[in-house]
């Protein structure tokens, strides 16, 4: 078995009157994350962690913010596309651990729904997804509710017994 880990980070501005989608769940809040897609900062960090672990570059490389195909799209779709890329290389997800940093709204009540949306989208167990939240103690752009940040780490696995391994040339 071969395993790799990946790290992801994402940040988005918060804008008044804009929808706030986090982990595939629309939150009721006076402002929301702004971006080319639905600006789901949590899913973007998870995508980058998965892509990084598999050495497949980053989310911007695969889903450019200048490509109209991704304009307004659900980041759950982007996550599914990332998992397809991993699957093509025989990787499967072991687990995902994520942290969201924002002052408001409180996301703890929404974490079970976020885990369900993610698990359903990429066919892994909710037990293999951890989502946590913290504030920035009212400091900086996060503390002023101008932005939201997410971090993610993941573990991916590949069964090396199924793969062809070239045999070394024996020199006699």
In the annotated binding site, the residues are 10-12, 36-37, 44, 58-60, 63-67, 134-137, 141, 144
Token reading at 74: 């659900």
Q: How far apart are CA 43 and CA 46, in angstroms?
A: 5
3 state DSSP class of 126: helix
CA 3 vs. chain centroid, Å, equals 18
The first and second tokens of residue 135, run together, are 């504030």
Taking the CA atoms of 100, 105, 111 and 116 in sequence, report the sign of the dihedral they define: negative
Ordered DSSP codes for 66-83: T-GGGTT--HHHHHHHHH
- Among residues 93, 78, 152, 80, the alpha carbon closest in space to that of 120 is found at 80
Per the CB < 8 A criterion, the answer to whether 154 and 42 are in contact is no
């Amino acid at each position: 078995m071969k395993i790799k880990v990946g790290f992801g980070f994402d940040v988005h501005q918060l804008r008044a009157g804009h929808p706030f989608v986090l982990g595939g769940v629309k939150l009721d809040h006076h402002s929301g994350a702004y971006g080319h897609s639905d600006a789901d900062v949590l899913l973007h960090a998870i995508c980058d962690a998965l892509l990084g672990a598999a050495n497949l570059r980053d989310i911007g490389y695969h889903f450019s913010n200048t490509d109209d195909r991704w304009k307004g799209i659900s980041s759950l779709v982007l996550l599914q596309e990332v998992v397809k890329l991993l699957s093509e290389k025989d990787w499967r997800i072991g687990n995902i651990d994520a942290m969201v940093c924002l002052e408001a709204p409180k996301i703890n009540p929404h974490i079970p729904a976020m885990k369900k949306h993610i698990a359903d989208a990429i066919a892994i167990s909710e037990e293999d997804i951890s989502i946590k939240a913290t504030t920035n103690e009212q400091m900086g752009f996060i503390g002023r509710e101008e932005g939201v940040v997410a971090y993610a780490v993941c573990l991916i696995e590949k069964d090396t017994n199924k793969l062809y391994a070239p045999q070394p040339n024996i020199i006699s």
